[in-house]
Amino acid sequence: MTGPALHTSHLTLRVADLGRSVRFYRDVFGFADLGTDADGRTLLGAGGTVMLALELARDADAPRPRVEPDPFIGMEHFAFEIAPDDFETLRAFYRRLKAVGAEIHHTVDHIVTNSIYFLDPDRNLIEAYVNCPRERFQAMEHPYGSLESLDDALEGKCLPTWMREAAAAK
């Protein structure tokens, strides 16, 4: 038996400072303010589609998500696909993160994706990624094994591994 066709609708985050979080998600992702819902959450998104709902926490001093150390219960991170198969768009996004002062946690070549992990003002871990060409990993038994840093490639010092591999194969 198969389940219903599902897709993610939106994510709701409780935040300590609503204005600060709205500015962050607007500046980083270019989200538009789509108004508020009946419960007073600020709705952000693109193309008229709600992607994120921000709700002011009742207690601004409530515990924040812990990125380190690893053992905790709850959401570890959430992710946004920036562009399919387009490393230059990811590189431009990396520059945007640096320009707005976002705290970059780490970058990773996952073989199937190239990813940037960074923190929002409330220390939620966010992944921004682009997919890598399918030819790179379709024959691999365990394609998610790589944890190679993308820092040098994102800084423009070299090409990402999949682009170097493709160039060498020609």
CATH at 160:
3.30.720.110
Instruction: Measure Cα distances from 45 to 31, 69, 132 in Å.
Output: 5, 31, 25
The answer to the question of residue 34 being in a domain is yes
Say if residue 47 is in the same domain as residue 13: yes
Say if residue 105 is in the same domain as residue 44: no
127 has catalytic annotation:
yes
Number of domains the chain is built from = 2
Say if residue 136 is in the same domain as residue 164: yes
Say if residue 52 is in the same domain as residue 130: no
| Active-site option among 55, 127, 135, 141 | 127
The whole-number pLDDT of residue 104 equals 96
- Span 21-48, average pLDDT: 94
Say if residue 169 is in the same domain as residue 85: yes
Whether the CB-CB separation of 102 and 95 falls below 8 Å is answered with no
> What does the pLDDT look like over 76-85, one tens digit per residue?
889 999 887 7
Q: Which is higher by pLDDT, 157 or 143? A: 157
Identity of the residue numbered 23: R
Q: In terms of residue numbers, what domain contains 148?
A: 77-170
